[in-house]
A = this chain, B = another copy of it.
Amino acid sequence: MNYADTGTTRRRSHQREVILAELAKLRTHPTADELCQIVRRRLPRVSLATVYRNLEVLAEQGLIARLELSGQQWRFDGRKDPHSHIRCVTCGAVADLDLTPTPTPLPEVQRHTDYAVAGQHTEFAGLCPACRAAHDASLPEALA
């Protein structure tokens, strides 16, 4: 059974509160593993499994967002207001983007598919400042 299933009474737990608090504090969008490292500064014995389980619960409760970004790892976001994200194509870092793209009207989308269209999501890609610097530093040689 899915751990985040609602068929069971939900109890509060110290671990979950710390996980939420630490995530809310961050302006980055950590992977589960990164967040686990951070939480371990306060709870040295938390297991990665607990972090995963609670992130799933928190996402289900709408307190955080599981970022469904391209790539292989989940990333988590403690912000609750609507915003977009941009991901570094080189290192995978994710940053907020205070911009909400105008969506294509759903009826228009619906005309092109037999799927029942439910939503859409625009993600941005680019080079983060650090990778850009590294990139610029190596380019001159190639152009010389």
Task: Classify chain A: how many residues form its interface, as a range.
Answer: 35 or more
Q: Is A81 an interface residue (CB 8 A)?
A: no
Verify A113–B126 contact, CB threshold 8 A: yes
Contacts of A97 in B (CB 8 A): 109, 112-113
Q: Among the listed stretches A5-13, A41-49, A55-63, A115-123, which one makes contact with chain B, having 4 or more residues with CB under 8 Å of it? A: A115-123
Contacts of A125 in B (CB 8 A): 117-121
Verify A115–B104 contact, CB threshold 8 A: no
Verify A129–B117 contact, CB threshold 8 A: no
Q: From residue 19 to 66 of chain A, which have CB atoms closer than 8 A to chain B? A: none
**How close is A28's CB to chain B, nearest CB, in angstroms?**
13
Given contacts A109-B97, A120-B122, contact A129 B115 (CB under 8 A): yes
Verify B126–A116 contact, CB threshold 8 A: yes
Verify B126–A123 contact, CB threshold 8 A: no
CA distance in complex: A102, B97 (Å):
18
A-to-B contact residues, CB < 8 Å: 68-72, 86, 88-89, 95, 97-99, 101-104, 108-109, 112-129, 132
Can you name 12 A-B pairs with beta carbons within 8 Å?
A68-B71, A99-B108, A101-B120, A109-B124, A114-B129, A116-B127, A116-B132, A118-B125, A120-B123, A121-B122, A121-B123, A122-B122
